[in-house]
Structure 1
Amino acid sequence: MTQPATLTSTRPFADLTTLTDLGGGAFAALIDPIWTIGPKVHGGCMMALCAAAAREVIRAPQEEAASRPVDTRAMQPIAVSASYLNAPDPGEVRLVTTVRKRGRQVCLVDVDLMQGEKVAVSAVVTLGVPDVGDPRHQEPLALDDLPAAPPADAVHITPGHPMGQIVHVAKGCDLRVDPSAALFLSGQQGDPVNRMWVRPFAEDEVDTDVAVLFALMTGDISAPVTMNRGMFGWAPTVQLTTYLRRLPAPGWLRVMASATVLGDTWFEEDHLVLDEAGHAVVQSRQLAMIPKG
């Protein structure tokens, strides 16, 4: 595999999610080697690409728009349900879309992310307008007490950090980990929980459409919480469903990953993502396999 190179772009996530229209509802994209965990393309990045393709095809002008106008400009991917079939290499991929529904409030698009003739990810993307007002009801959130911005003792995951040598996606954003949760960083064990702060680069953050896709990606940003139980290695995601609840406010995103049941083969991992304003921006749940290492 091509080794992750030194980052030169000031808008790496925009570069990742920029699509080339191939016609007929198909798009091409280029996955830079930085968007990997170890040798594998990061699952959240592939989900973001599927969401980008669905949004692109829904926003495209339609012949029937004059007779049945639907304003899709404010629509965003509010739910993405992805099944992971193969692990592609960094490089060129193709996204093939099939529109299942064009509605005034909800649109539905199937997306296959392919490399060569193999389908790597098969996703169903629901598009609509995210919430904007205050919630009608909200239970206390597990991240309410975590500072909105990383404190001085947060662990900055740089390319030279041992974790940064595996979590290459940290080259494309600012990622800082709560050491009181990520006990595996100090060789200890604890609950299967991880907490962190993540922020896109400034040029990625200022573009709302890019910031939305970045927020979706953070629903899979944590290292496997199995690491806090002494189980290291690749924990392949089999299925991941992510909800975008609202547009992220500029600033740091607070992320918590947790699991309740670690089985012999399978475990679930939930992500909750809050923005600096304290709003729940992303919620996700995945089914993954216990690392074999």
Structure 2
Amino acid sequence: MSTPPSLTSTRPFADLAELTDLGDGSFAATIDPIWTIGPKVHGGTLMAVCAAAARDAILGSGGDAGAMAPVSVSASYVSAPDPGEVRLVTTVRKRGRQVCLVDVDLFQGGRLAVSTAVTLGVPDIGAPRHQEPLALAALPATPPADAVLITPDHPMGQIVHVAKGCDLRVDPTAARFLAGEQGDPVNRMWVRPFAEDEADPDVALLFALMTGDLSAPVTMNRGMFGWAPTVQLTTYVRRRPAPGWLRVMASATVLGDTWFEEDHVVLDESGEVVVQSRQLAMIPKG
């Protein structure tokens, strides 16, 4: 497997989300090879790029749009694009004072890769009126000494190249596949964007959106390795993340013969829920 080139930018996620306006609701983006899983672009990264296009499409409407951010992205994956140039075509379905709706199609080489429906609104700010207890809340807010740092040389880092664009650490008590063992279909990890990406609130929100698809497939903990293609993914951004580490938990309840669902919950360092997601994916054939 070829290795993506070494990272040179100190703001890799901001670079990813920086789009060129082509006019008529179309935008161009360049996806660096670090934002890949194996040779193909990471699904959460594609969602973030589509969300950035929806945001840019709606900003020109003025009014309250400047306070809005992507709060929901629902993506259907049609084909798996390679890193490089992509084109995004937006269609504004609604321009409201509280909610805007934008469809975004992502193309590469004239071929549709991802079709998304993006909802923009103002994320929550205050304390929740009600919240069920979360298992993830028991995970330390910052990675402990035994957390596994995913470097480019680590076996996982040789596949999950997105670890080059952030600080990613895995809970070894959950990711039993790292030790050649099996366990429950659950992964837990800590992730933090680079300082310049974290300092920009809009970039930090898009980064948090991406983490709703951060985990290696939880099927690995059941001894099922290989590509687990995501067919549909819906991610909610509940609030802007506080600066610091994000805690991520991925889990599944049913691993079928062909299909499995994978849920992500993401807490910021203050303990607030910032992202929730669910995807439908296919069991690896390897």
TM-score, normalising length: structure 2: 0.99
Correspondence for 1:139: 132
Correspondence for 1:30: 30
After superposition, residues 253-272 of structure 1 pair within 5 angstroms as 253-272=246-265
Correspondence for 1:250: 243
Partners in 1 of 2:29 and 2:100 — Cα distance? Answer: 23
Contact 2:242 2:268 (C-alpha < 8 Å) held by counterparts: yes
Correspondence for 1:12: 12
Matched position secondary structure for 1:71: helix
Contact 1:2 1:33 (C-alpha < 8 Å) held by counterparts: no
Matched position secondary structure for 1:190: coil
RMSD, aligned CA: 0.9
Contact 2:70 2:119 (C-alpha < 8 Å) held by counterparts: yes
Partners in 1 of 2:11 and 2:2 — Cα distance? Answer: 21
Give the count of matched residue pairs: 286
- Runs of 5+ consecutive residues of structure 2 not aligned to the other structure: none
Correspondence for 1:168: 161
Determine which of 68, 86, 90 is the counterpart of 2:83: 90
Instruction: For residues 29-86 of structure 1, give each alpha carbon's deviation from its aligned partner in whole angstroms, at most 9, with x where no partner exists.
Output: 00011100001100000000000000001111x4xx6xxxx31111010000000000
Determine which of 181, 184, 190 is the counterpart of 1:188: 181
Contact 1:189 1:228 (C-alpha < 8 Å) held by counterparts: yes
Correspondence for 1:39: 39
Contact 2:3 2:158 (C-alpha < 8 Å) held by counterparts: no
Contact 1:26 1:94 (C-alpha < 8 Å) held by counterparts: yes
| 2:121 equivalent to 1:128 | yes
Correspondence for 1:107: 100
Correspondence for 1:52: 52
Correspondence for 1:150: 143
Instruction: For residues 112-162 of structure 1, give each alpha carbon's deviation from its aligned partner in whole angstroms, at most 9, with x where no partner exists.
Output: 010011110000000000000000011111211100000000000000101
Partners in 1 of 2:217 and 2:102 — Cα distance? Answer: 29
Matched position secondary structure for 1:210: helix
Q: Which amino acid aligns with 1:98?
A: T
- Runs of 5+ consecutive residues of structure 1 not aligned to the other structure: none
Q: Which amino acid aligns with 1:54?
A: A
What is the CA-CA distance between 1:2 and the residue it aligns to?
A: 6.7
Determine which of 170, 179, 184 is the counterpart of 1:177: 170
What is the CA-CA distance between 1:97 and the residue it aligns to?
A: 0.1
Q: Which aligned segments of 4 or more residues in structure 1 are displaced greater than 6 angstroms?
A: none
Partners in 2 of 1:90 and 1:50 — Cα distance? Answer: 15
What is the CA-CA distance between 1:185 and the residue it aligns to?
A: 0.2
Partners in 1 of 2:47 and 2:174 — Cα distance? Answer: 26
Partners in 2 of 1:102 and 1:2 — Cα distance? Answer: 44
Contact 1:40 1:88 (C-alpha < 8 Å) held by counterparts: yes
Instruction: For residues 189-224 of structure 1, give each alpha carbon's deviation from its aligned partner in whole angstroms, at most 9, with x where no partner exists.
Output: 010000000000000000000000000000000000
Matched position secondary structure for 2:220: helix
| 2:111 equivalent to 1:118 | yes
Instruction: For residues 212-270 of structure 1, give each alpha carbon's deviation from its aligned partner in whole angstroms, at most 9, with x where no partner exists.
Output: 00000000000000000000011000000000000000000000000000000000000
Summarize the Cα distance change of 1:2–1:163 in structure 2 as closer, same or farther, 3 Å threshold: closer
TM-score, normalising length: structure 1: 0.96
